[in-house]
Amino acid sequence: MKTKITEMLGIEHPIIQGGMHHVGLAELAAAVSNAGGLGIITGLTQGTPEKLANEIARCRTMTDKPFGVNLTFLPSVTPPDYPGLIQAIIDGGVKVVETAGNNPAQWLPILKENNIKVIHKCTSVRHALKAQAIGCDAVSVDGFECGGHPGEDDIPNFILLPRAADELTIPFVASGGMADGRSLVAALAMGAEGMNMGTRFIVTEEAPVHENVKQAILAASELDTRLVMRPLRNTERVLINPGVERLLEKEAALGSDIKFEDIAPEVAGVYPKIMKNGDMDAGAWSCGMVAGLIYDKPTVQELVDRIMSEADSLISERLKNFL
C-alpha cells in the first residue's frame, strides 16, 4: 500500500508506532520497522544523550529498516538536554523525528539541515495548521479517544480527521482508536495517509513491558479509561486502577485549588514501577479507549500482517460490493 506517508518515510505499510514512555524501546521499534511500519524510540525515556545514542545503536543491531525517535518538548525549569538529544539523533543517522508537546519551531532548522523528517503530534486542527506553517513535514492528528494527552477540545476522530483533511496541505496520520484494518481503511477514507498506533502495540509479544500491563489492557473494555489532570489543563487518558481512583478523589475534593504537588504520588515517576515491575496500582498510566478492541497478544509481524490483510479485504471486497 503506497501513500504519501510510506513514500516520505521509506516504509512498506502506512503504520507508525507511537512514542510511548517506557514502552518505545529498541525491541519494539525494531519489531515494528521489520514488519514494514515505522518503529519509534521514545527519547525522554532514555533521558540523556548518551543513553539515547546507545538505544539508537542497539536498535540498529536489530533492524536495517527506517525507524524514528519521539521527542516530547516539556515546559520545565530543568528541561532535558534537548540539544544533546537532537545531536544523538543526528549522529545516529535517524531520519524521522516525532515531536510532541510544546511548539518544536526552535529545533526545526537543525533537524531540516540534517534531512530529518518531522512529524508533530496535534490534538486540534489549529495546532496542525501551526505545525504546517512552521515547516513540519507531516502531523499526527490525535483524536479524543487517544491514550495519553488528548488536549482540551474533546474532538473525536470522526470529526477531527475530516476537518484536518479540509484544512491541511501536508500529509497526516490518524492517531487515537487505531487497532486494526478497519481503523486503517477508515482513516484513509477520512483523508489520512496512514495511522499511528500506541496502545495496540503494547499488547504484542515484543513490547518490552511487564506481562501485567498487557493483561490489564486485554481485560479492559472501552469503558475502562478515565481522564485525569483536567483541572490542571494537562488532561491525560489513563486506565482505571486504584491509583487513578485516588487521584480522581483528590481532584474532586480540591477542585480548582488542586496543584500538581497534590497528585504527584500518583503521576510522578510511576512508569518504571508499572511498565518494568508490573505494579498496576502504582498510579496513572496512559491507555486509549482502543483497549476495548484488543483481544489477543500477537507478534508485531502477525499484527501488522493481519492489519494489512484486513485492510486489503475491506477495500477490495466489502467496499467494492457497495458500488
User: Mean pLDDT across the chain, nearest whole number?
Assistant: 97
Confidence of residue 175 (pLDDT cuts 50, 70, 90): very high
Rg (CA), the chain: 19
Please write the tens of the pLDDT for every residue from 94-107: 999 999 999 999 99
% pLDDT > 70, the chain: 100
Domains and CATH numbers, the chain: 4-204 (3.20.20.70), 221-286 (no CATH)
**Per-residue CA distances from 27 to 47, 223, 262, 285, 299 (Å):** 18, 30, 35, 20, 12
% pLDDT > 90, the chain: 97
Please write the tens of the pLDDT for every residue from 109-154: 999 999 999 999 999 999 999 999 999 999 999 999 999 999 999 9
Please write the tens of the pLDDT for every residue from 9-48: 999 999 999 999 999 999 999 999 999 999 999 999 999 9
Give residue 323's pLDDT.
82
Confidence of residue 75 (pLDDT cuts 50, 70, 90): confident
Give residue 106's pLDDT.
96
Give residue 321's pLDDT.
87
Instruction: Name the helix (H) or strand (E) containing 199.
Output: helix 199-202
**What sign does the CA torsion over 304, 310, 313, 315 have?**
negative
Confidence of residue 181 (pLDDT cuts 50, 70, 90): very high
Please write the tens of the pLDDT for every residue from 204-218: 999 999 999 999 999
Give residue 153's pLDDT.
96
Is residue 20 within 8 Å of 217, Cβ to Cβ?
no
Residue whose C-alpha is closest to residue 284's, from 322, 249, 319: 249
Confidence of residue 87 (pLDDT cuts 50, 70, 90): very high
Question: CA torsion, points 126, 131, 133, 139, in degrees to nearest 10?
Answer: -100
Q: What mean pLDDT is predicted for residues 253-258?
A: 94
Confidence of residue 320 (pLDDT cuts 50, 70, 90): confident
Please write the tens of the pLDDT for every residue from 263-286: 999 999 999 999 999 999 999 999
The pLDDT of residue 78 is above 90: no
The pLDDT of residue 253 is above 80: yes
The pLDDT of residue 311 is above 80: yes
Q: Work out the angle at residue 72's Cα, subtended by the Cα atoms of residues 54 and 226, and round it to the nearest 5 degrees.
A: 120
The pLDDT of residue 77 is above 80: no
The model's pTM is 0.96
